Amino acid sequence: MERGDTPQDSYHLVGISFFILGLGTLLPWNFFITAIPYFQGRLAGANSTTGTLGTNHSGPTDAFNFNNWMTLLSQLPLLLFTLLNSFLYQCIPETVRILGSLLVILLLFALTAALVKVDMSPGPFFSITMASVWFINSFCAVLQGSIFGLLGTMPSTYSTLFLSGQGLAGIFAALAMVTSMASGVDAQTSALGYFVTPCVGILVSIVCYLSLPHLEFARYYLARKSSTAPGQELETKAELLRSDEKNGIPNSPQKAALILDLDPEKEPQLELEEPQKPGKPSVLIVLRKIWLMALCLVLVFTVTLSVFPAITAMVTSSTSPGKWSQFFNPICCFLLFNTMDWLGRSLTSYFLWPDQDSRLLPLLVCLRVLFIPLFMLCHVPERSLLPILFPQDAYFITFMLLFAVSNGYLVSLTMCLAPRQVLPHEREVAGALMTFFLALGLSCGASLSFLFKALL
């Protein structure tokens, strides 16, 4: 696809830069949810700066419903800025959006790290943290959408590298948590080191972005950006989706819908039955074609966010207090979920089953609702209504394996199948609609988490 006189990516510096930018876009979300035990520890008692990163044996009290509010205030900005993207992209220059977002995220994470050393009562600490969560995720949504546009003129390989970086963000955060806990230092120092890590990651992301104009390979492709239309960012999703259908999408609740299949050879029947029409595709017509895939996507993320991490982060080991009890939740909840979710998304690189016409797909999506009572009946000590029916650790680990793999696979599958139900010129609209429904599912799940928490 590249011409013979195209500059080469020396030492793969451009590829590494986009990989790190992908990592940076999802570090904030993953570092916040993985540190839920720390925040619950800070909120459990007044004037405490010794919240631990790990879980204790009896489970931390979640008096402020921190899990639920953090999940909700992380996902609402995604839904809001999905709707505002067109306005923002046309009114604010790309450099301001990307560099400005990275700087704000860095400052807010630095504030979060500084608060580790500040003696503060639970109320103000909760308010400041929730405000940080809202603004960090708002700027992350702008940042992610803007980088999608930046990738529009790059070869598809760089889209894959960016998404691979996003996929490793959750695993990276979980490993950072485990490493901080295993370091042997006191709880406060461990928490400080944990929150400084994403600050370093964001700082490296800023350096990578600023270096792009100085790399000949990047300049060659990004020079086309100035001559493209303002809507190029939306078109970029198509390129990203093409690369993901071959490579699988990495995990993250905030990733954009990036698994559209764009190979026109795969739908000759559609083109024969319904010839392409000039002009802008009708949103309602496209929605009628993909409504089932959109509904499946909403249901998958609604189930996932209704219990993860609001309920799953409260599950503790049933064994006696010790090392395993301390590391149980970071490993069996966050690290296991992120790893298996990534694996589930990668499976669509090898097969797509069931197909869009099968009744089995909606059935599988609906069956995931069973995970809600299963997790609620696991070993969550802080409860008043429901009993504990699955106290052993093996139950929770088994449920989490199936829960994470099915989330990743079904999300990836629905995003792959949706564009196959529309004409080629309608795929951009289909991608935008699926992105909206993805955000809607995340927000619905975060809202329902309050109900399920109250039922415990």
pLDDT in tens, 15-44: 999 999 989 988 888 898 888 888 888 887
Average pLDDT in the 41-69 region?
A: 64
Instruction: Tell me if 438 is assigned to some domain.
Output: yes
- The residue whose two tokens read 């949504």 is 141
pLDDT confidence bin for 55, thresholds 50/70/90: low
Residue 3 lies in a domain: no
User: Of 272 and 415, which is predicted with more confidence?
Assistant: 415
Structure tokens at 135: 């603004």
CATH number, domain of 414, equals 1.20.1250.20
SS3 378: strand
Instruction: Identify residue 147 by its one-letter amino acid code.
Output: I
Of the ranges 184-198, 321-335, 414-428, which is most confident? 321-335
Number of structural domains found in the chain? 1
pTM: 0.79
Nearest alpha carbon to residue 206 among 132, 147, 133, 135: 147
Which residue has better confidence, 33 or 301? Answer: 301
Tokens of 405: 């793999």
Question: How far is the C-alpha of 323 from the C-alpha of 52, rounded, in Å?
Answer: 14
pLDDT surpasses 70 at 269: no
45: confidence class by pLDDT, cuts 50, 70, 90: low
- What contacts 276, CB < 8 A, 6 or more positions away? 423, 424, 425
Residue 5 located in a structural domain: no
Q: What integer pLDDT is reported at residue 235 of this predicted model?
A: 43
Q: Is 107 exposed, middle or buried (0-12, 13-18, 19+ CB in 10 A)?
A: middle
Beta-strand ranges (E) seen in 268-379 are: none
Is the CB of residue 260 less than 8 Å from the CB of residue 415? yes
Q: Please give the average per-residue pLDDT across 357-364, as a whole number.
A: 90
Residue 2 lies in a domain: no
Answer whether residue 4 is part of any domain.
Answer: no
Residue 221, pLDDT score? 84
What does the pLDDT read at residue 81? 83
Question: Which residue range forms the structural domain that includes residue 299?
Answer: 10-454
Query: How many contiguous H segments (helices) and E segments (strands) does the chain have?
Result: 17, 0
1 within some domain: no
